Amino acid sequence: MEGMAIRLQGLRKTYGRTEAVAGVDLEIADGEFFSMLGPSGSGKTTVLRMIAGFEAPSAGSVELAGREVTRLAPFERDVHTVFQDYALFPHMTIEQNVAYGLKVRKVARAERLVRARAALAQVRLEGLGRRRPAELSGGQRQRVALARALVGRPRVLLLDEPLGALDLKLREQMQVELKAIQRQVGITFVFVTHDQEEALTMSDRIAVFHQGRIEQVGTPAEIYERPATPFVAGFVGTSNLLSGDTARKVVGAPGTYSIRPEKIRILKDPTRLAGSESGPDHSTATGTVAEVVYLGDATRFLVDLDAGGRLTAVQQNLETSSADLASFRGARIGLRWHRRHAVRVPDAP
Ligand code: ADP
Ligand code: MG
């Protein structure tokens, strides 16, 4: 298929009795920012290592740009991997670190320098080429690792939790920068993370991993708004599921339903549920507030439903103050949401 950067077919990897990757089929297009999202131990790194060639699959195949590479060594594949620990050479300057791969490939000295400087400019580190890794901050070292990857102009860049060692503020800043750099260079990025927010904000598409399998592949909006399995509904965003008897009473039909917390409106006076805003397009429920969590810009309410089960609702703090919020604890309230926001979740595959 044209424009295909990566195709995985029936990919498996077992270590003794551990099935690290239990059958993965996936196609990633040229130029995509693609994330592999899942909890620790779900097989993301193992898949990445099989794409890079560091690990041989127990079964299945890896294709890069239409060429089968399953049995090829890492250096025979047009990919580069960026690891979380940067793996910079401490005794070399930043420029030498970035140019190192070109030296190994026997690129002439003058060209090495030009390309290393261009790569450092791409990650906004121009002027720091003469320093050594110890003289840079964590975020700057991460950018050097990225420059070192970009300098070889690989077709695909594999990134394994590259921001995991950074503190929250820096991580958020690097998320924006990384995405901008990817757009600018147009290289396919395969980005591994266990952080759902990171995956949602950065990716063109996401694959959600669970126990060595992919449970869903889709755009961030598809994954968030139309979770394909109960696991995806719970792992991405706050788990808010109605099922069994509760679903029958509240949604009016059997099955499992996911409702995102920000779609649920809280009514301090439950008798208002019968009011004009509650047409046939809306579902309603009554319950008791079990917990109120002040989040600064918003508040999270955990509500025990009279129909059974518990829902989380999040409201922006437009007019409420933290003093008001205390009065909600233990209060009887009403909940209302548009019917289209109760999304039917198929059972696990
Ligand atoms: P993730 O990157 O999603 O955290 P991994 O791919 O690292 O997951 O691991 C998936 C599973 O395979 C885990 O249960 C892990 O313990 C196991 N595993 C990974 N690498 C090895 C190895 N070299 N030897 C034995 N088990 C491994
Ligand atoms: Mg991992």
Verify that 25 and 48 share a domain, yes or no: yes
pLDDT above 50 (res 1): no
Task: Give the pLDDT band of residue 29 (cuts 50, 70, 90).
Answer: very high
Do 233 and 241 form a contact (C-beta atoms < 8 A)? yes
Q: Are 161 and 289 part of one and the same domain? A: no
Whole-angstrom Cα distance, residue 155 to residue 118? 17
79-82/156-160 β-pairing:
parallel
Q: Indicate if 117 and 258 belong to the same structural domain.
A: no
The pLDDT, as a whole number, for residue 276 is: 53
User: What average pLDDT score do residues 194-205 get?
Assistant: 95
CATH code for position 341:
2.40.50.100
Instruction: Give 116-125 pLDDT, tens digit per residue.
Output: 999 999 898 9
Going by alpha carbons, the residue nearest to atom 21 of ligand 1 is: 15
Position in ligand 1 atom list of the atom nearest CA 21: 10
Q: Do 187 and 44 lie in a common domain?
A: yes
pLDDT digits (tens, 9 = 90+) for 281-308: 889 999 999 999 988 889 999 999 999 9
d(CA 128, CA 108): 22
Among 115-129, 138-152, 268-282, which stretch is predicted with the lowest mean pLDDT?
268-282
| End-to-end CA separation in angstroms for the chain | 27
- Give the residue, 212 or 293, on which the prediction is more confident: 212
Nearest atom in ligand 1 to the alpha carbon of residue 55 is: 23
Tens-place pLDDT, residues 242-268: 999 999 999 988 999 999 999 999 988
* 53 alpha carbon, distance to own chain's centre: 23
211, 235, 259 - which closes a domain: 235
Mean of all residue pLDDT scores within the chain: 91
Of the candidates 30, 25, 9, 160, the one whose C-alpha atom is nearest the C-alpha of residue 83 is 160
Q: What is the mean pLDDT of residues 278-282?
A: 78
Average pLDDT over every residue of 130-147: 91
Instruction: Tell me the CA–centroid distance for residue 237 and ligand 2, in Å.
Output: 20
The ligand with the least distance to the CA atom of 55 is: 1
Domain final position from 183, 203, 235:
235
Residues lining ligand 1, judged by CB closer than 6 Å? 15, 18, 20, 38, 40-46
Residue 274: the pLDDT is 66
Structural domain count of the chain: 2
Task: Classify residue 185 as left (phi > 0), alpha (psi -120 to 50) or beta.
Answer: alpha
8, 17, 18, best to mutate for ligand 1 pocket (most atoms within 8 Å of CB): 18
Q: For 47-103, what is each residue's pLDDT tens digit?
A: 999 999 999 999 999 999 999 999 999 999 999 998 877 789 999 999 999 999 899
CATH number of the domain encompassing residue 25: 3.40.50.300
* Together in a domain, 261 and 224: no
Do both 222 and 268 map to the same domain?
no
pLDDT at position 237, please? 84
Q: 155: number of CA atoms within 13 Å, CB side?
A: 18
Most informative mutation of 11, 15, 55, 206 for ligand 1 (most atoms within 8 A of CB): 15
**214 and 274 assigned to the same domain:** no
Please state, as a whole number, how many other Cβ atoms lie within 10 Å of the Cβ of residue 209. 26
| Domain of residue 26, residue span | 4-235
Q: What is the mean pLDDT of residues 226-237?
A: 91
Give yes or no: residues 182 and 256 share one domain: no
Residues 6 or more apart in contact with residue 288 via CB below 8 angstroms: 303, 304, 306, 330, 331, 332, 333
Q: Give residue 278's pLDDT.
A: 62
pLDDT value at residue 275: 60
Do residues 202 and 122 share a domain? yes
Could you say which ligand is closest to the alpha carbon of residue 84? 2
Identify the domain boundary among 194, 217, 235.
235
Q: Are residues 77 and 164 in the same domain?
A: yes
Tell me, yes or no, whether 22 and 68 share the same domain: yes
- In this predicted structure, the answer to whether residue 321 has a pLDDT above a threshold of 80 is no
Q: What's at 76, amino acid-wise?
A: E
Residue 225 C-alpha to ligand 2 middle, in angstroms?
Answer: 26
Q: Which residue would you say has higher pLDDT here, 2 or 71?
A: 71
**pLDDT at residue 57, rounded to an integer:** 98
25 & 154 share domain: yes
| CA–CA distances in Å: residue 147 to residues 33, 82, 270, 308, 311 | 17, 10, 57, 54, 45
Q: What is the pLDDT of residue 326?
A: 78
